[in-house]
Amino acid sequence: MHATEATQAAQRSIDICNACRYCEGYCAVFPAMMLQRAFTTEDMSYLANLCHNCNGCYHACQFSPPHAYGINLPQQFAEIRVESYAEYAWPKGMGSAFARNGRAMLTLTAAALAFVVLAMLLLVPNAALFGALSGAGAFYRVIPWGVMASFAGVTLLFSLVALLMAARNFWRDTASSLTRTISFSAIRTALSDAATLRYLGGGHTGGGCNDLDASFSHTRRKLHHVLMYGFFLCFASTSVATLMDHFLGWQAPYSWYSLPVVLGSLGGIGMLIGCVGLIWVKIATDPAPVARAVLGGDYALLLMLALVAKTGLLLLLFRATPAMGMLLALHLGSVLALFLALPYGKFIHGILRFTALLKAAVEREGRSVTGS
C-alpha cells in the first residue's frame, strides 16, 4: 500500500488512539492496534479494512472534531478502504475504476442494460420478445439457455477470480509479518465474525452501534443481514435452478411453490428491504464521521443490488405477460452489470473485510498462546 494523504492523516490519528485506548472495548481494530508502537501504510490498510464503520469510536472520542486533534477514524478509514480497493484490484489497471466509483458503476449498469436490450431487440424475433409465453422453457425461447449460462458463467467466474486475487494481494501486503499459520479455528472465528457482523454488535454488552448518532441500535446490522442473506438466497435460487435444469431437465419457469422461486422471492424481497434501508441509514446518519468522497460507490452498489432484486421480482410477477421479454432483458442486463462490477466496486469490501478478520483471528490466537 502506498502512502496517501488519507493514510498519513490516519497514522497521526492512530498514534493518538494508541496512547488513549479508551475504545479498546468496541471492536477488533483497537486490540489489533495495541500490538504495535508504530504503524506502516500496510498497517493502515489492514486496520481500515478491519473497521466496520460502526462509528462507536467517533462518538466516544473526546478528541473528535471540533477538538484540535480532530480524530475521525471512521471517515479516514473509509477513505483508505477505497484507496486500498484500488491498490489491490486485479488486474492492476482496473484499480482506476475506484476513482469515481459511483459514476463508473452507473455507466457500467447503463451499458450492460443497453447491450442486453439492444442485442435482444436485434436478435430475438418479435413474437418471442413481445408475446405472452408460458410453459417449460419459456425464458429460453427468448434467450437460449446456452447464451444465458455462458454469459453469466464467464463473467461470474472472472469476477470471482478477480476478487480472490484482490484478497491475495491484500493478504500479501498486510499479513506478511504474521509468524503463525492460519488454523481452522481462526478461519472458523473469521467466518463467524463475518456471518454475524460481530463488530456491529456493540461489544459484549451487545447494544449495537452508532447507526445514526451517539445512541446505539442494531438497525444497520439487521439491514445488512437482510441484504447479505437475501443475496445468498438469490444465489442459492439460481444455483438450484441451474442444477434442476441441467441435471433433472426441469426447465424454468418454475411454479410459485418451487424451491428456486421461494428462495429467489425471499432473497429478492430481503435485498430490496436491505438496500432501501441502508440507503436511508446513509442519508439519515450524522454526516460528521462520513467520508463523502466514497459515498458514490456505496450508493451505486446498493442501487445495483436493488435493481437486480426489483427486476427479478417484476419478472416473476409478470412472467406470463407480454412484458416478460423486456423484463428478462432488464433483469439479465442488471445481473450482468453486477457480476462485472463485483471486483471493481463496493462489493469487494466483503472479501477484504473477511481477510482482515482472518488476520485478526490469527493474531488473537497468537496472543492467547503467549499470554501477553
Partner 1 sequence: MPDFEKVYDVAIIGGGNAAMCAAITARQAGASVIVLEHAPRAFRGGNSRHTRNLRAMHDGPTSVLTESYLEDEYWDDLLRVTGGNTDEKLARMTIRESSRVMPWMMQCGVRFQPSLTGTLSLSRTNAFFLGGGKALVNAYYATAEKLGIVISYDAEVLSLDLDDGFAKSVAISANGFPQTLRAKTFVVSSGGFQGNIEWLKKYWGEAAENFLIRGTPYARGRMLQNLLDQGVQSVGDATQFHSVAIDARAPKFDGGIVTRLDNIPFSIVVNQQAKRFYDEGEDVWPKRYAVWGRIVAQQPGQIAWSIVDQKSEKLFMPSVFPAITANTIRELAGKIGLDADALEQTVNDYNAAVQPGEFNSQKLDNCHTEGLEPPKTNWARKLDTPPFICYPHRPGITFTYLGVKVDEQARVIMADDKPTANLFASGEIMAGSILGRGYLAGFGMTIGTVFGRIAGQEAAKHARN
C-alpha cell at 133: 409465453
User: Using CB under 8 A, which of 2, 38, 122, 256 touches partner 1?
Assistant: 38
Q: Is 366 in the site for partner 1 (CB under 8 A)?
A: no
Looking at the Cβ atoms of 202 and 333, the one nearer to partner 1 is 202
Q: Which of 23, 47, 313, 360 binds partner 1 (CB under 8 A)?
A: 23
Asked if 34 touches partner 1 (CB under 8 A), the answer is yes
**339, three cell numbers:** 457480476
Pick the binder of partner 1 from 9, 24, 141, 364 (CB under 8 A): 24
Distances in whole angstroms, Cα of residue 292 to Cα of each of 5, 82, 214, 249: 15, 12, 19, 50
Interface positions, 199-228, toward partner 1 (CB under 8 A): 202-205, 207, 214-216
Minimum CB separation of residue 33 from partner 1 in Å reads 12
**CA 118 to CA 96: how far, in whole Å?**
28
Residue 58 CB, shortest distance to partner 1, in Å, is 10
Whether the upstream peptide bond of residue 253 has omega within 30° of 0, thus cis, is yes
Instruction: Name the grid cell of 313.
Output: 421480482
Alpha-carbon Rg for the chain, nearest whole angstrom, is: 22
Q: How far apart are CA 89 and CA 7, in angstroms?
A: 18
Judged by CB under 8 A, the number of residues near partner 1 is 35
Enumerate residues 262-281 that contact partner 1 by CB under 8 A.
Answer: none
Q: Which residues pair with 209 in a beta bridge?
A: 217
The dihedral sign for the CA sequence 176, 42, 349, 196: positive
* Smallest gap from residue 176 Cβ to partner 1 (A): 22
Is 131 a binder of partner 1 (CB under 8 A)?
A: no
CA distance 346 to 269: 21
CB of 195 to partner 1, least distance (A): 23
Q: Which residues in this chain contact partner 1 in the complex, by CB under 8 A?
A: 15-16, 18-26, 31, 34, 37-38, 56-57, 59-63, 65-69, 202-205, 207, 214-216
